């Protein structure tokens, strides 16, 4: 298998000769990154430099990984590290690299029927919501957010699906749609902070629970392996992944703000990252 450094060198040679004209790649990614507007900020910078067109398919992390396993993409950018590492171990990805992070928060109505406002322990908050049988809107879609939510319920010793269709409402939808549904039914919900900052239909909803280290939300980037998927545009996908973790790409991620708030924090373990 070609090494990342060899593919990166090939990519740079392509840039020098203008070989990227009309090149395109597909990025299988999450609704949280798309809903936040991050790609609208990043992609024009990359495309202006390289001529490579990046097409983003925004679905839940579980579906994005399955799409990539089906060879329906060149790059995977999601937020469920164990599943990402399994993807690479199974031979579908060349290498996984930490890219950026933010955090999850639990939002809810101002009247806060489960009285969780100000809690920093996510498991304690979820236990209180379950005990009160207060409505909770879950994505229920095997996304990265849903995977994290399920793990938190498990760590809290709660099986919420026992209340499915009653206080526990599974939308089977993306983050924005789940927030809209949750607000419509007066339900609590867990969301990534970037989507919440960008979300316009907040009504009387507020962030009620935040600050728990268990709510950390790491994103990773993985070029899809050409050995597993011969149709992959390997050089262009490696170029995009290398740009994201470069000093310039990391700076572009850090520069993206909504209402003055930074949505993602770069932490690639190479130049420009925070870790």
- Report the DSSP beta bridge partners of residue 58: 29
The pair of three-digit structure tokens given for residue 82, joined into one six-digit string: 């164990």
Q: Give residue 168's pLDDT.
A: 98
Task: Kindly report the number of other CB atoms within 10 A of residue 113's CB atom.
Answer: 15
Task: Kindly report the number of other CB atoms within 10 A of residue 185's CB atom.
Answer: 12
The pair of three-digit structure tokens given for residue 199, joined into one six-digit string: 């979300």
pTM of the model: 0.86
Q: Interhelix angle for 38-50 vs 234-245, to 10°?
A: 120
Query: Largest Cα–Cα distance in the chain?
Result: 64
Residue the block writes with tokens 């450094």: 5
| CA angle (15, 18, 20) in 5-degree steps | 75
Rounded to whole angstroms, how far apart are CA atoms 240 and 9?
Answer: 13
Q: Give residue 35's pLDDT.
A: 85
Whats the size of the chain, residue-wise? Answer: 275
Residues of the chain with CATH 3.40.190.10: 4-101+218-266, 103-215
Q: Give residue 79's pLDDT.
A: 96
Q: Which fold has domain 103-215?
A: D-Maltodextrin-Binding Protein; domain 2 (3.40.190)
| Domain 4-101+218-266 bears CATH identifier 3.40.190.10 | yes
Segments in the chain forming alpha helices (H): 4-17, 31-35, 38-50, 61-69, 81-89, 122-132, 144-155, 175-184, 193-198, 234-245, 247-255
Cα 119 to the chain's mean position, in Å? 24
pLDDT in tens, the chain (275 residues): 344 444 444 444 444 434 444 699 999 999 889 989 999 999 999 999 999 999 999 999 999 999 999 999 999 999 999 999 999 999 999 999 999 999 999 999 999 999 999 999 999 999 999 999 999 999 999 899 999 999 999 999 999 999 999 999 999 998 999 999 999 999 999 999 999 999 999 999 999 999 999 999 999 999 999 999 999 999 999 999 999 999 999 999 999 999 999 999 999 996 544 44
- Asked whether the CA dihedral 248, 240, 48, 102 is positive or negative, the reply is negative
Rounded to whole angstroms, how far apart are CA atoms 159 and 131?
Answer: 11
Q: Give residue 32's pLDDT.
A: 86
- The answer to whether 96 touches 78, Cβ cutoff 8 Å, is no
């Amino acid at each position: 298998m070609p090494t990342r450094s060899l593919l990166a060198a090939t990519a740079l040679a392509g840039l020098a000769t203008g070989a990227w004209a009309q090149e395109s790649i597909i990025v299988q990614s999450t609704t949280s990154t798309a809903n936040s507007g991050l790609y609208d900020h990043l992609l024009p910078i990359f495309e202006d430099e390289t001529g490579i067109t990046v097409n983003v398919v925004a679905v839940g992390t579980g579906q994005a990984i399955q799409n990539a396993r089906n060879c329906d993409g060149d790059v995977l950018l999601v937020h469920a590290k164990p599943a990402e590492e399994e993807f690479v171990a199974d031979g579908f990805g060349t290498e996984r690299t930490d890219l950026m992070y933010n955090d999850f928060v639990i939002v809810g109505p101002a009247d806060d029927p489960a009285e969780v406002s100000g809690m920093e322990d996510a498991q304690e908050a979820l236990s209180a919501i379950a005990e009160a049988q207060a409505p909770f809107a879950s994505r229920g879609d095997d996304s990265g957010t849903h995977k994290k939510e399920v793990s938190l319920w498990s760590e809290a010793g709660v099986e919420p699906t026992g209340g499915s269709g009653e206080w526990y409402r599974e939308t089977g939808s993306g983050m924005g749609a789940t927030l809209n549904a949750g607000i419509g039914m007066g339900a609590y919900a867990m969301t990534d902070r970037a989507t919440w900052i960008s979300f316009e239909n907040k009504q009387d909803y507020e962030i009620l629970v935040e600050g728990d280290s268990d709510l950390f939300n790491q994103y990773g980037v993985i070029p899809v392996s050409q050995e597993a998927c011969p149709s992959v545009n390997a050089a262009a996908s490696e170029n995009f992944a290398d740009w994201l973790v470069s000093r310039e790409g990391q700076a572009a991620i850090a520069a993206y703000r909504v209402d003055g708030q930074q949505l993602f924090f770069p932490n690639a373990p190479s130049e420009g990252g925070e870790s």
